[in-house]
Amino acid sequence: MICTKHLNIITQKQLLGLIPLTAQHILRMEKAGLFPKRIKLGKTKVGWFLFEIEEWIKKRR
């Protein structure tokens, strides 16, 4: 059985509502391996797995 929690994807707009950082800063952190990697959803659309973002936030508490 697949855990659907691990399939929830958030858009960049939703991510920016959760994380008080700019899109450019998040991209720099991704490239440095300090932030979860985005996934490509379409030609120009990207998203992130919500559980990875939640884990990233928990590690910073």
For the stretch 8-55, pLDDT in tens is 999 999 999 999 999 999 999 999 999 999 999 999 999 999 999 999
**Domains of the chain, residue spans:** 4-59
- Assign 61 a pLDDT band (cuts: 50, 70, 90): confident
Residue 47, classed as helix, strand or coil, is strand
Is 48 in contact with 7 (CB distance < 8 Å)? no
- What token pair was written down for 49? 């797995």
Q: What pLDDT does residue 7 have?
A: 84
- 34 contacts: CB under 8 Å, gap ≥ 6: none
pLDDT digits (tens, 9 = 90+) for 4-13: 667 899 999 9
- Assign 3 a pLDDT band (cuts: 50, 70, 90): low
